[in-house]
Each structure stands twice: as C-alpha cells, then as structure tokens.
Structure 1
Amino acid sequence: MNRNDNRKRLQQELFDVCIIGAGASGAGAALDAALRGYRVALIDRGDISGETSSRSTKLIHGGVRYLEQAIKKLDLAQLKQVRHGLAERRTVIRNAPHLAHPLALLTPVFSWFEGMYMSIGLNLYAFFAGHDSFPKGRWLNKADALTKMPTLTNQMHSAVLYYDGQFNDARYALALAHSADEAGAAVVNYLAVTGFKQENGSITTAHVQDQLTDETFSIRAKVFLNCTGPYADEIRLLANPTLDRRIRPSKGVHMVLPREILRSDCAMLIPKTADGRVVFAIPFGDKVFVGTTDDDYTDLNQEPVLEPAEIDYLLDTLRPYLAKTPDKNQVQAGFGGIRPLILSSRTDTKTLLRDHEVEHDSESGLLSLLGGKWTTYRVMAQDAIDRVAERLGSSAKSTTERHYLVGGATYRFEDWQLLQQRFDLPTDICQHLMQTYGDRAEQVARLTVERPVLREKLTEHRPFISAEVIYQIRQEMAVTLRDVLARRWRLELSDWTLTAQITPQVAQLMADELGWDDEYCREQIRAYQTLLRSFVAQAGLAAERKAATRV
C-alpha cells in the first residue's frame, strides 16, 4: 500500500463508493466492493484499525453470553446472532490462517449442577456451530482441569472445556485493507472528513483534511458509506444535522498480566460476575489479557484508558478462580475500546444487542453501517455493499467468503524452516515472521539480505527485527510510531515499559526511511513516551510500581 500514490488517486478519480472508516467493517466493505469490480476509496481519520477494531478481546466467537440470554428469554434475535457468529468463525480463520486459530477455553465450576448446566449450554453452542474443524469440548474433572491450567483454585469442583477462535485483530483489519488495496481500492489513512457537498439531495463530494500535512482536498464518489463504528453519529450528523443519534457508546477495557498467571495455553471464561458480565483471561503471546468491562462512555474525544477502579474490578473477578490472585504491581499494560451499540430503549449496555443495521438517509443519500462485532464483520460488509450495489444499479455479488487475505493464500506455519534455511535467521524470528506476515514473511526476510543491519533484534525480549519496520512503512502504510508499536506489532497493548524502551530505535528506523529530521524525530519520541507515561499514571500504577521496587 503506497499512501502517496493512493492519495493522488483520491484527488483525480470518480469512485463508485467512498468508505469512511478503516476498521473491521470499513476495511471489510472495501475488500467486498473492490472484488465486485467497483472503484473504491477507503479512508480513515487515523490509522487503519486505529480505534475499536484493534482493541477487542481478540476472540472470534458466536457469543456464549448471547446463547444463554437467547435460551433464557426465548430471544430469537440473540439466537440468530449466535448462529451468524459461529458460521463466520470458520471463515475468519480460513481466510487468514496466519492471524487466526482455534483456542481452548476453560470454565471452572464449583458444583456438579453448575458443571452440568455449563456442559448443556456448551453442547448447544457446539450444535449450532455445526460440522466444523474445531475440536469438541468436554467436561473435565478437577485433576484434568488443573493439569491444563495449574493456577486454578483448588476450591473448584471441575471445569468445562470448549473452543472458540483467537486472532490478531489489528493485523487482521490491516490484511483486509491491504487485500482491498491489491484488489484496486485506493486506501489512505490519516485523512479526516470535514464536510460534504450535496447535489440534487445526495452527497457527491467529501471534503477531507490530511492529518499529517494539514492539506485539504475533495473526494468524489457516487455513494458514500459510513463505517466509523462508535463515531458513526459524527459522520451522520455532518451529512444531515437533523438526524437523531443512533449509537450508544460502551467502554470496555482489558488489563495485561504476565502469562505465568495462567501457566496455560488455554484461556479462561468467567461466566458470571457480581454485575452479570462475562470476563475472559486470554493468553496472547507471553501475556494474559483480562477483560472486559462494559460501561456507558460519553466523551468520544478522549481515548478510553484503563483506570484504577477497573483494575480492582478485574482483579476481584479473577480472585475466586485462581489459587493466588495477582497483585496490582503485576499489571504491565492495559487498553480500552468503545463498542458501537445501537441505541434502543434498553437501559443496560450489557443487554444491548450487538447486531448490525445498514441505514440509508434519504435526505443526504448517506449509507451508514451501524453496530455489529468483529466476528461478523464479513456479513456486515456484505450487507452494506449489497445496499451500495442497489444504489449503483448493479447486480454484482459478494465473493469474500472464500477469499484469502494478504499473507494467507499459501501460508503454512512449517515454512518457517524454509525461511531459516534461506536467510539464516534464528528460530524465534522465523516463527514470528510467519505468524505475523504469513506467506509475505519472505519479503521481510529479503530486506535483511539487502541490508544485513536490518537482521538485528530491537530487544532481547521479543523477536522483532529492524527489517519489519521498513516493511511496515513500505508495504503496510505505517507512518507514526504508534502505527508500528501498537498495531503492526502489538507491543503497546502488552508492555508499556518495553514499548517506551525501544521507541527511540524504532523512531530512528522510521526517520531514516521517511526522511524525518532530527528535531521531528526527537519530538515524536518525546510525545509517544509521554503518552505511555500517561497510561501508567491514569491506571494508578506508578505508585504500585514504586512500592514494588522498594520491596
């Protein structure tokens, strides 16, 4: 993806559809539209997957909680959502096998009855999933459960094992956008919509501002599709100020703990909390992500962050399930996201449906894809582009169900050995490159031949090498430090201290490739490290870390 070339296209061409928002739904819609042969523009005011889509629980699932509510309340809408999610779970993994895989989850229970109840529910879950390649779950006795996850409390009666999917959300959205680009879409990040021009009662032009250069210009398209998730109302009201708001934002946060907390390749599902939520503890690399919360969120201009009360809540939730509860000073990072719940009369965000809707505003002609969740992004995108097709008078059908994403077409994890033979890189680096870039890993490794200095690891604690930064700039449209450290890699999400430590090295690589002068480079380092320190302070962890150091 070449940002400059694509930006020129935006200024020169008339597009069939301009998609605003490059998260899961927007990038998915761009790929769907491009594969149907439409001329597609995809823009975002930040990075690709810069907001909600990169801050999920990293699970691909039908929704165990939705199934329970569907059965208890005989709610067919909830049941439909579960079936959609389970059907799409297979597709998400098939189309990008380097970024997604099945994951075992344990649910500890404290009585025979509770175990039976959970087993029946999860058997129903498997039934609705149909015949797929996921392993089948089972009810484990206490000894078997402790073998799989040795840190569980000895107070449990047994545990129920089941399977869902896990994925790297930010890189999955990036693969969607990259695939759309290769299918002909003009993809540009850091381009904010500032207004619209209408002719004959329909939007014909979007006015945009480049967030990197402050330059303004216009994009012409026959149809405009709003895929901005929790920020959808901002675009809707920009197109038509008389519209009512449709989105009720909900904040969900995760805290990050060392992997030793679970000492397992399995995740843990906590099926009931004091306030009726579901919480997961999920291994991700060498960490465990614990979340999520679910609270109303009103200030969309502020990035959602991990706060002290949320840490307390998540630690309290873990306490009954582990033999030893983690301390606050073991929290190494955290992240927050905003769910785009569709507004309804329900007062509790935990009960709001996360199904989606494609809205057409007859006054402006704007289409808006509202609601939804990661697992069903492809169906959401298909529904939205079907509506675009209606507006264009086209009969082209979606072909995304069996379309491999960038990196996935010929991916085999075992090929890390071929990578090692050809480029003489360490095992951990070769495996990391395969799991991150799929069948494009060789393109990254080839840079180390052209410039041997790019073979160097940036830290002994991770298999990241300098060549990746160059590849991410040239091929994946990375233009800021956070693009690399938070989204192309997931380091910011998992370890604030290590992220701050390697920021100067990453900045120097970016400066050399992008032509940053010394003053600008120092400014970027200062700004990003200040941001990381603010995360620590807002989580209330600075005092905890000082106390732990003194001890």
Structure 2
Amino acid sequence: MVGAMRPPTAWFVKTMRSLSSTVRTSNFSDLQNNHFDVLVIGGGVTGAGVALDAVARGYKVALIEKKDFASGTSSKSTKLVHGGIRYLPEFDFALVHEALVERGLLLQNAPYLVRPVEFVLPIYKGDRHPVGMPFTTPGGVGLSQLLNIGLSLYDMLAGRRNIRWHRHISRDKVMKLAPALVTDGLKEGFTYYDAQTNDARLTLALIRTAAQYGATITNYTEAVSFLEEKGKVIGVTVRDKFSSQEAVVRARHVVNATGIYAEQVEELTGTEPQIQIEPSKGVHLVLSREDLKLGDAAIVLPETEDKRILFIVPWGSRAIYGTTDTGSGDLEHPAVTHEEIAYLLKYLNRYLNLHLTERDIVSAYAGYRPLVKPRNTNASTAKLSRTHAVLQSSSGIVSIVGGKLTTYRRMAQDTVDVLSRRDNTKPVHPTQSLPLQGSADWGKAQEEVARRGIALGLTPEMIQHMSRSYGSVAHTVFDLIEQDAALADPLIADLPYVKAEVVYACRHEMAMTPEDVLSRRTSIILEDRQRGCGVVSEVAAVMAQELGWSLTQQEALTNDYLYEVQRQMAAEKRPEQPGVLEEGMVSPSPQQM
C-alpha cells in the first residue's frame, strides 16, 4: 500500500549511507520519485530530531533545509545541555524537570558529544537577585539558604539522572575554582552540574543517524509552496538553491520544524498561523581561556541589573560568554551590535579582576530563540516560556514551535506522537535509548580512537577534538589520513582542526560551501581570531577538488565567506582583523556548483 507506515521493527534495519554532494543530488531526485509518510521542513536540531524519531518508528521520511543544517538557531546557542536554572525562580518546574530528564538521556545516548560541566556560582555581599531571582529578602538576608534550597530542587528534579549533587563552598574554594573572580565582597558560593555540547555537531549527528536509518535528506532545498487537495496539504514544491531545479514532494504528513520561520511557512498554506513566534536575540562572545584564567569549571555571573544570568563556559582553548535576551531584528542576518558587546563586557569586567576590551574578543555571534507568544498578548521576550507546543493546522500541517536545544528529543517525540495518533497506531519511543551515530559502546571505542590518533602522530588536542566531535566515526577521518599523511596537517596553528576534516565533511556530511565547513562542520569561525578568513582559500581549494568546482565557483564562494565575515564585523563596529576581506573586493552572488 503506497504511503503506509512500515512495521515498527523496520527501524532496526540500518543502512550505512554517506552524505556527499553526489548523494545530495540523488536524494533531490528521490524527493520527487517517492511518496513519503513524513516530510520534515527544517534542518535544525528540532527538525533533525523529528526526522530521526519518525524514521526510527518505521515511517518513510524526507527532510529538507533551505540553507545548511544547523545554520540558524541550532548553531548559535550557549552550547549547554541544561535544565535552565533561571526557570526555577519563575516556578516553571515542569520545564526544568523535562529538560533535566532530556539532559540525562543525551548524556546516555551521545556521550562523546555531551559531557558534564561543573558550574561555580559566587555569592557577593549586596547581591539581591542572584540567578535572576524575581524577588529578594530584606537586606539580602537568607538568600544563600534560598539558593541552597533551589539547587537542591534542581538536583531532585533530575531524579536518577542527576549528574552530581550541588555543593555549598567557601570563599577560598570559590577563588581556587575561579581565580579570576573579583574578591572584594565575595562571601561564598555554590557548585552545581549541567552539561555541554557542540550544538552544530549534535545536529549533524542527528542528521547522520537519521540518514543511517533510511531518511532522505537534502540541504539548500527550500519549500516554496504547498500542494493541496480538498483543503489539505498533500505535498510541497521545493527548489534546489544551486541548480534552481524544482520538484514536488508528496507526503501523508508534513511537519513544520522551522523555528523562527514557523509562522512564515504556515502562511504559505493561506491559513492564519495559530500562534505567534517572538524571536529573541541572544548574543555571545568568544574569548581566550588563557585571558580569562579559566579552568575546567564554568562560571555563573550572579547578578545583572536586568536580572539575567550570564555564563562563562570553557570551550576548548576558548570560552563562550553570554547571553543577552533582546528583541528581534533581521532574521536572515542576526548581528551583534556594539551596544550588546558593551553590555556583556560591562558585567565581565565587573565580576572578573581583569580589564578586557573589544580587542580581547576572539569572535562574537548572535542567534534568535523561537519563543512562543500567544496572539494578541503583550509580553517581553525575557519573560516568555521556552515550553514547546505541537499544533495542527486546518491544512493538515503539523508545526512544532518553541522549546530549547536541550529538549529537542522530547519535542520530536511529541510531534511524531501526533502523527502516530493520526495513523491510529500506538506511539513507541525508540529515541529514548537510541545511541546517536558514533556513540555505541563509547567507553571502549574512546580508548581505540585515542590509540589510533597517537599512532598517526596527532597531538593530544587533536585527539580530544576528534573524540568529542566524531566519536567512533573519527576512524573514518583517520582512514583519510592513512591514505594521505598531508591531511593530518593543521588548518590553523593554535586550533586542533586538520585538513582531513574538510574532505570528510564533503564526503560524509553534505558540506556544500566553505561556510558549511568553517562555521558548522568545525567551529573555526568562532575559535579563530581571523574567523577563518586566513584559511578559507585553502578550505575552498580542497572542497573544489572534492566537489568539482570551477576556479570561478571556488573564488566566488571564497569571497562570499569573506564578505559575510566583513558584514558581521561591520555590525559590531569593531576594527577589522588580518585576513578579513580587503577593501575594494566585491563578493559575487553564489554560483551554481
């Protein structure tokens, strides 16, 4: 029967599929030549999670993304997998519990990508609203006890999946864990535990795993219109960005997982969207860990005038610091402003015994959270909930909106449960215990990755990076190095990335532009002081060999990247760094590949 769901046991049958440009071309053809059970629009972490959950239940699944996977919000987070400690003072216990459960499942199912991090929360004399508490006590008396109760609740809400119980620590212990903190007025502190991930690589792991189980996946494929029959959506017309070719994809169920664009996509059906997405911009700074004197523990800056929480989190040789929570702007090109940088530096220099300026910033980035706002209601973005909602339009489209990085799996599960009920089948939840690609038997596999990395002559930093980015799939990268020793050369001297990763990204992760490699397959755009501008030509040359670009195409895509970095820095009003687009160079429009 065409369009019928396969037996639930079908998800156990895995097909090893690379995600090369050739596969992408084949997949685009397959979009038109097959009738799918589920078509997912959106290749961020939520859409990737929906695709994996659906294919794991036995559905025939396709996923399309108008840009690159994780190119929006899903690569612009604080890189944390956490319960959301700031939601405790708002008494949003259900959200915190859900997120903490999902944190535990991610630690279980993606152990190489998600790892525990200790957080230091210092308490200063005069604090009134630590961790964003909306209330205070007379003279601040008893706030420490309230925080202790709150952190105990945080631990209890995690249940058996709690990482480690929080601790109340002395002033001396705070200074030992976070030596850069200002000591004047420092009274005591707490430590508690959450987890960290690479958001873009997590999304790619979901994409690769979904493809492994048989999903048909393409990036740079935009939904331009819907095909309807008797008022119900039965298909989507899609357009390939590179070839401009169009195809009609037919599916029994269409899932709108486009985050901040969810309203716009639903409007393509001609129906009024059921809920309003209120984008909220979050800005982060990337700094040197050495400059911050930052050890392995993250730091929570306890109090701001607007009752926000700011985190300083270790990130390899760098640190991620943020975030803001401001209104909307250009959704296609989220930019960091000079004012937002000043805001973040103000609190950094207030709480650290350093004096850091804009020149100490390695990079900065901004993204939009897809907060859910009921229609005809006024509310600030800082007060909107991160709770998700699954909505069914009269056109038949199912939209998943709201949520946060940590809860992507639960969001996907709730979405596919709606499809199961439509099909009168009992919902099953295979992703609760489904290891992401590269995670199986990771304890033993990690040792083998380390041994092989040493044998290939890689540095300890490179081996750690390979483990944390690829898991056991690092062996595929090692295979490339064994075939060509030059691929072990570093891309940038003080970062752990090697040339083999560019080849791997083209052959196995559907990287189609230099930006895909520098911004999402690696984090070079964040970690490099030149934001990848000094190495983009070399990356483009390797990609040209893999993808068959002409010299004109190679130069155009290189200039596109340089132009984008220049645009970002112009918005920040920061002085250009060496390697950024020289004056007078014009960035051509993207060429067909």
TM-score where L is the length of structure 2: 0.88
Q: In the TM superposition, what whole-angstrom CA distance separates every residue of 1:95-153 from its partner, at most 9, and x where no partner exists?
A: 11111101111111113744333222111111211233512221111111111111011
AA paired with 2:98? Answer: H
Instruction: Give yes or no for the alignment of 1:539 onto 2:568.
Output: no
User: In 2 relative to 1, CA 185–62 (structure 1 residues): closer, same or farther, beyond 3 Å?
Assistant: same
Corresponding residue for 1:94? 108
Q: Does residue 406 of structure 2 align to residue 392 of structure 1? A: no
Q: What count of residue pairs does the alignment treat as equivalent?
A: 536
Q: 1:485 aligns with which of 513, 518, 537?
A: 518
- Contact kept, 8 Å, 1:496 with 1:532, in 2: the verdict is no
Structure 2 counterpart of 1:178: 208
CA RMSD of aligned residues (A): 1.7
Residues 421, 427 of structure 2: 8 Å contact kept: no
Q: Quote the residue 1:327 is aligned against.
A: 357
In structure 1, C-alpha distance between the alignment counterparts of 2:462 and 2:306, rounded to whole Å: 43
Q: Which of 94, 111, 120 in structure 2 is aligned with 1:106?
A: 120
1:501 is paired with a residue whose SS is coil
Give the one of 460, 482, 505 matched to 1:449: 482
Task: Tell me which residue corresponds to 1:82.
Answer: 96
Shift of 1:396: 4.6
User: 2:533 is paired with a residue of what secondary structure?
Assistant: helix
1:381 deviation in Å? 0.3
Deviations 1:68-88 (A, max 9, x none): 110xxxxxxx11101101111
Which segment drifts farther, 252-261 or 130-139? 130-139
Aligned twin of 2:392: 360
* CA–CA distance in structure 1, aligned partners of residues 419 and 183 of structure 2: 56
What are the residue-to-residue correspondences of 1:96-245 with 2, within 5 Å?
96-111=110-125, 113-132=142-161, 134-155=163-184, 156-243=186-273
Given candidates 1, 4, 9, the residue that maps to 2:30 is 9
> In the alignment, does 2:288 pair up with 1:274?
no
Mapped partners of 2:459, 2:279: distance in 1: 45
Tell me, in whole angstroms, the C-alpha distance in 2 between the residues paired with 1:242 and 1:535.
34
Asked if the contact 1:254–1:336 (Cα under 8 Å) also holds between the matched residues in 2, the reply is: yes
**1:133–1:342: structure 2 CA closer, same or farther, 3 Å change rule?**
closer
Distance in structure 2 (CA, Å) of the matches to 1:349 and 1:470? 41
Residue 133 to residue 416, structure 1, CA distance change in 2 (3 Å):
farther
SS at match of 1:134: coil
Tell me how far 1:170 sits from its aligned partner. 0.5
In structure 2, relative to structure 1, the CA distance for the partners of 1:314 and 1:196 (3 Å cut) is same
Per the alignment, in what secondary structure is the counterpart of residue 429 of structure 2? coil
Whole-angstrom distance in 2 between the partners of 1:115 and 1:312: 30
What SS is found at the alignment partner of 1:499?
coil
Given the two structures, how large is their TM-score scaled by the length of structure 1? 0.94
Q: Relative to 1, partners in 2 of residues 1:421 and 1:146: Cα closer, same or farther, differing over 3 Å? A: closer
**Is 2:548 aligned against 1:515?**
yes
Q: Secondary structure at the match of 1:49?
A: coil
Q: Greater shift after overlay, 272-281 or 201-210?
A: 272-281
**Cα distance, 1:496–1:305 mapped onto 2, change above 3 Å:** farther
Q: Return closer, same or farther for 1:59/1:27 CA change in 2, 3 Å cut-off.
A: same
- Following the alignment from structure 1 to structure 2, what is the Cα–Cα distance between the partners of residues 210 and 141? 59
Does residue 1:351 correspond to 2:383, yes or no? Answer: yes
CA offset at residue 255 of structure 1? 1.1
CA displacement at 1:421 relative to structure 2:
5.2
Residue of structure 2 equivalent to 1:548: none
Task: Please give the per-residue CA displacement for 1:184-214, whole angstroms capped at 9, x wherever unaligned.
Answer: 1001111000000100221111001111211
Question: What SS is found at the alignment partner of 1:340?
Answer: strand
TM-aligned CA deviation for residue 157 of structure 1? 1.2
Q: Equivalents in 2 of 1:284, 1:212: separation in Å?
A: 34
Aligned-pair distance for 1:292? 0.8
Question: Which is helix-richer, 1 or 2?
Answer: 1
Aligned AA (2:160) = H
**Structure 2 equivalent of residue 549 of structure 1:** none
Return closer, same or farther for 1:325/1:69 CA change in 2, 3 Å cut-off: farther
Matched to 1:453, the amino acid is A
CA distance in 1: counterparts of 2:496 and 2:303, whole angstroms = 37
Seen in structure 2, the aligned counterparts of structure 1 residues 144 and 469 have a Cα distance that, compared at 3 Å, is: same
Q: SS state of the match for residue 364, structure 2?
A: strand
The one-letter amino acid paired with 1:514 is L
Match of 2:8 in 1: none
The 10-residue stretch of structure 1 (314-323 or 350-359) with the greater mean CA deviation from structure 2? 314-323
1:62 touches 1:86 (CA, 8 Å); kept in 2?
Answer: yes
Contact 2:449 2:472 in 1 (8 A): no
In structure 2, how many angstroms separate the alpha carbons of the residues matched to 1:428 and 1:324? 27
Q: 2:52 corresponds to which letter in structure 1?
A: L
Deviations 1:250-297 (A, max 9, x none): 111101111121421111112331112211111111111111111120
**Letter of the structure 2 residue corresponding to residue 124 of structure 1:** L
Q: Deviations over 1:428-480 (max 9, x none)?
A: 32222122110011111011122222222222111211111111111111111
d(CA) in 2 for partners of 1:205 and 1:403? 30
**Amino acid aligned to 2:47:** G
In structure 1, runs of 5+ residues without a counterpart are 71-77, 546-551
1:44 aligned partner, one-letter code: E
Query: Structure 1 residues 127 and 243 mapped into 2: Cα distance closer, same or farther (>3 Å)?
Result: closer
C-alpha displacement of 1:245 = 5.0
Alignment partners' CA distance in 2, 1:406 and 1:543: 39
Structure 2 SS opposite 1:105: strand
Which residue number corresponds to residue 343 of structure 2? 313
8 A Cα contact 1:223 1:391, kept in partner: no
Distance 2:330 2:566 in 1: 21
Q: Quick check: 1:501 aligned with 2:534?
A: yes
